[in-house]
C-alpha cells in the first residue's frame, strides 16, 4: 500500500510539473503575441504617414504649398 501511495504521489508531482510547464509555455506564447501586436501598432503610423505624404505630393498640392494657398 505504501508503494502504491508513493507511486500515486510521484504521478501527481509529474502531472503538476507538466501543468506548470504548459502554463509557462502559454505565458510565453501570450508575451510573444503581445510583442507582435505592439510591433504592428508601431509600424502602422509609419505606413499611414507615408500614404499621407504621398497624397500631399500631387502637383496641385505642391503648387498650393509653393503659393502658400490653403484650400
Domain ranges of the chain: 2-66
The predicted structure's pLDDT at residue 6: 94
Phi-psi region of 68 (alpha: psi -120 to 50; beta: other; left: phi over 0): left
> For residue 70, what pLDDT is reported?
63
* pLDDT given for residue 17 in this prediction: 93
Q: What pLDDT was estimated at residue 52? A: 75
Which pLDDT score is estimated for 3?
A: 94
Query: How many H helices and E strands in the chain?
Result: 2, 0
64 close to 71: Cβ distance less than 8 angstroms? yes
Q: Going residue by residue through the chain, which has 71 residues, state the pLDDT in tens, using 9 for 90 and above.
A: 999 999 999 999 999 999 999 999 999 999 999 998 887 766 667 777 777 777 777 888 888 788 876 65
What pTM, to 2 d.p., does this model score? 0.47
Cell representation of residue 61: 498640392
Amino acid at each position: 500500500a505504501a508503494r502504491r501511495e508513493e507511486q500515486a504521489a510521484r504521478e501527481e508531482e509529474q502531472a503538476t510539473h507538466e501543468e506548470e510547464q504548459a502554463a509557462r509555455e502559454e505565458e510565453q506564447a501570450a508575451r510573444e503575441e503581445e510583442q507582435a501586436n505592439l510591433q504592428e501598432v508601431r509600424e502602422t503610423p509609419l505606413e499611414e504617414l507615408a500614404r499621407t505624404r504621398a497624397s500631399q505630393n500631387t502637383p496641385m498640392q505642391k503648387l498650393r504649398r509653393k503659393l502658400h494657398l490653403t484650400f
